[in-house]
Each structure stands twice: as structure tokens, then as C-alpha cells.
Amino acid sequence: MSTTLLVGMPDGRICRLLDVLDGQTLTHRVEAATTGRTDLWTNVSLLPLLVCAALDPIPLVTGGALTAAEFGHPALVGPPGWMPDVPAGALLALTVERGRVRIEALSDGVGSTPAQEQRVRAILGRHIRDEAWWSDVAEPNREAELNRAVSHGLIEDPELFRTPVSPLIELLHDVLSEHSRAHVFDDAAAWDAGDVVSFVVAGMPESLYAEFNRRATRYGMSLDRFVIATLGHCAWRTPFAEDLGPWESWEVPQTQPSAPAILRAVQSMSDPEDAPDPEDPNAVEGAESR
């Protein structure tokens, strides 16, 4: 669950990320001319290949192998002549073929349609969890999240990158930016709503925690948002759903007891003078009707 080099499949198998990328093409827009160079400086557009090359060299179709640059540089390094000579701003396409990489220049562009690129953006964006926090101590690892989103997107749709599309950094600019736009807007709206509080839930049963996580993931929410939404739903299902005013008004008011109601006097049947004569059949019948 913590590595992006191994990919868990829905049927329980575990595959290498490089095997999941087989037959897929990732593109990259170079920032400088590649003439005479062996190092390809890249960004998140080729991140899946970069992390694979950092573990083991990736063979090239033309011979030799790709390795990650030394000292942590974000670059792929290969033998002399492994890259085509292209000017700055040109597009390169790197395709994985049975564990080997083939590279070529895309002189006519990627050739994808806006609908194809929107579909890739939608699938990857759905698999990326990029909550932004007001504190900088819990920032998510966006590179790992992107790698995981690529692998999960390919499991969902094995044809996702069969046709070259624009570089990932261009397709997912908002998602991969330092501050996620959508979540920052949501957080700002929550704070602007008025006084807010923060709290910690302790002692939650493990099974309940797992169920909350499952439902939060299903609804595209983080765990804290789902818990707050659930608590809000429970509150609105109680008498507090109505505006009861300040808490001081929740107490039952102390009122003076009202005067007893005056009841009309009813003739008592126990009065000997009003008792029916048992010898008179009409009197007995009238008493029964009353």
C-alpha cells in the first residue's frame, strides 16, 4: 500500500509498475535542445519511468539502458545517441514494449483529440487524492499519488495511454499544483462560514474506521469530511433541526399554574329523591336511557 513500484491487482496478484505500463506511451515536452546530450531532464510527465529506472536500469529498444540521474536529479540518463535531436519545446514519446523503452520525436504533435485528453484527465483526477491542509506538516506526497493514479487508471482502462496524449503535467496542471484549487476553495468556504472548531476522534473501533474509510472513498471524500458530514446529518435528524435560538432558551419556562376549570354540576344518581321508582316501568326505562 505504500510503494508505487508494485501494483496490487483486483484479483489479488501483484505486478511491477513497468509491467502495467507495457504498451503505453508517455510524452514529455523538452525544455532544452537534446542535441549531443545523454540526460533527459523531465518532470512528473515521465515520473512512472523515472521511479522504475531509479530501482533498476530499463533496457532500450536500440540498445543500452536508462538509469535515473545521480544525486537525485529529475532526469533519465542513457547511452550516447539514445535521444533524437529536437529543439526546445518539442515533444518526445516514450513507449514501453515488453519491458524495454522506445523513444521517438512527435514532430506533428500528439494527435489526440480534446475528448481523449479529457477522458485521461477525468480518470487520473478521480484516482488522485490530493487533500490540501492548512498546516504544511501533512502535505500529501503528490508524486506518489500520481504514480498510483497512473497504475490504477491503467488497471481500469488498459487503453488509457495507447494513443499519445499531452504530457501529464499539462493535462493535470491544477491537480498537481502546489495547492489543490478545489480543496483550498472548499476549505476557505468552510472557514468563511463562521466560527469553526477542530476535534480529534479517539477510540474508534477498527471496523468502524474501515467502514468510514470505505464510504468516504466511495463518495470521493476524505475521512474527516465524511465524519463531519455524518455528524451534521445526525444533528439535522433531531429536534435541533429547527432554530431553537440561543441555548438559554432551551430551558422549560417556569409559568404559574392556571386556575382550575369550572365544571357544570351534574345531577347525582345517588340522591334518594332523584332515584327512579322501581315499581314504575317508565321511570326505569328513562333512567337507563340517561
Pairwise CA distance, residues 156 & 262, whole Å: 80
Share of the chain above pLDDT 70, in %: 69
- pLDDT for residue 106: 94
For the stretch 143-200, pLDDT in tens is 788 899 999 999 999 999 999 999 999 888 756 655 444 455 555 555 565 677 777 8
Pairwise CA distance, residues 114 & 140, whole Å: 29
- Cβ-proximal residues to 31 (8 Å cutoff; 6+ apart), any chain: 41, 88
- pLDDT for residue 238: 58
Q: Judge whether residue 133 has pLDDT over 60.
A: no
- pLDDT for residue 132: 45
For the stretch 82-112, pLDDT in tens is 999 999 999 999 999 999 999 999 988 888 8
- pLDDT for residue 279: 59
- pLDDT for residue 181: 47
Which of 38-42, 50-54, 161-165, 189-193 shows the lowest per-residue confidence on average (mean pLDDT)? 189-193
If one compares 166 and 235, the residue with the highest pLDDT of the two is 166
A 10 A CB-CB count for 174 gives: 13
pTM: 0.60
